[in-house]
Structure formats: structure tokens, C-alpha cells
Amino acid sequence: MGQIEVGLRLVFAALSLVVGVLCAVMACQFNSMDWDRPVTGPFAFVEVLQSRGLREPDPQTSVAFLQRADQAGPRRASTQAYLAYAYLKADKAISPRVVGALRTSYERMPLAPDTHEPRLRLILRHWDAMPSDVRSSAVYELNQYLRRGYGVSSMRKFSQTLKGSGRSVVEISLLKAQIDQSLKQKALMEAQQSKAAAR
């Protein structure tokens, strides 16, 4: 075995040891954390709090973890969307807290790739209980994603589980997206035909 290979193995072993020690320190800090104090932290910490809040079966504890996640990462639309679900479970109705969390989520990010499906599902399931501004935000978001081709099949399946107004909103948006797609294809074909005729 050459000296270079031995040196590389030693460097790798030293780095592994450093990473192990850092992980152990972080685990100790996490376990001894004062959960009642507002916290701020990096992306990974927000993810841990958010994940814990989503897995928590007790609605009040779920709300507490998601509120802490929101304090740690105050610009995330997803945390407010998940808070809306937690508030719904805790309040057992579309309460001002649920609506407030949805509004904040839309203010932070009107189009949120990691949030649009759960946020839309909550609003569409409870369409008649939602205020007009939340409905408008949801329709805009739904139309934008369907027009770009995201989630068409999942929204089509989801619409089958809906009743009443929420289902109508999804079906109209799906039809609109289909018409937009047909018009785009027609315009593309006409452009190709006129190019071919000009040659």
C-alpha cells in the first residue's frame, strides 16, 4: 500500500470521526432543548420541527410543534399550510385560525411547489366555508399549476373524492387547462405548417 493511499485513509478516518462527534453534540443539544422557548434555526431544524408536528397525533401538540417550526423559519408557506390542517383538527371546524394560516401561507408564497397540493386539498374540501379571498388565491394557484401541466392526473383523481362546489372548481380548472393545451398545440401546428409552406 502506497503512502498516498495510507494518507487518504487517515484523512477519511479523521473526517468520519469529526462528523460523528458533531452529530453526537447536535443530538445532545436537541434532546436537552427548551421546547417552550421560541427558537430560530437553520433549514434542517425547521424540517425536524415540522416533521414532528405532522406526525403528532394530538392536535394541540401538533399545533405547538408547527408554531415552533414557523418561528424558526418564518418565511415558509408550507408551515402555515400545515398549521391550517393542525388548527382544523384542533378546532374541528374552519375557524379564524385556519383561515388566517391559509392567508399567511398565500401571502408568503402564492405559488409554492412543495405546498400547493396539501393547501389546495384543504381549501377544496371545505370550499363553501372559505372566504372569497382564500378561494381566489386557490383558483389562481390551481389554474397556474394545471396550465403548466403539474398535478393534472392527481387533481383529476382528487376531484372524484370531492362533492359540491369544490369538485366543480377543480373540473372547471381541468377543462380550462385542457382547452389551453389544445390551443397551444393548434398554434404550434399552424406555425409548423406555415413554415413548411414558406420553403
3 occurs within a structural domain: no
Q: Which of 138, 109, 113 is nearest to 125 (CA)?
A: 138
156 occurs within a structural domain: yes
The CATH number that applies at residue 162 is 1.25.40
**What are the DSSP E strand ranges found in the chain?**
none
Measured between alpha carbons, how far is 3 from 185 in angstroms, rounded to an integer? 63
Measured between alpha carbons, how far is 116 from 113 in angstroms, rounded to an integer? 6
50 occurs within a structural domain: yes
- Which range marks the domain in which residue 98 is found? 39-179
7 occurs within a structural domain: no
> Could you report the per-residue pLDDT of 7-62, keeping only the tens digit for each?
667 766 677 766 766 656 555 555 444 444 344 444 577 777 877 787 888 889 88
61 occurs within a structural domain: yes
Instruction: Look at residue 1 in the predicted model and tell me its pLDDT.
Output: 56
79 neighbors 66 (Cβ within 8 angstroms): yes
> Could you report the per-residue pLDDT of 150-175, keeping only the tens digit for each?
778 888 888 888 888 988 998 898 88
Instruction: Look at residue 135 in the predicted model and tell me its pLDDT.
Output: 95
9 occurs within a structural domain: no
184 occurs within a structural domain: no
31 occurs within a structural domain: no
Q: Is the pTM of this model over 0.75?
A: no
Overall number of domains in the chain? 1
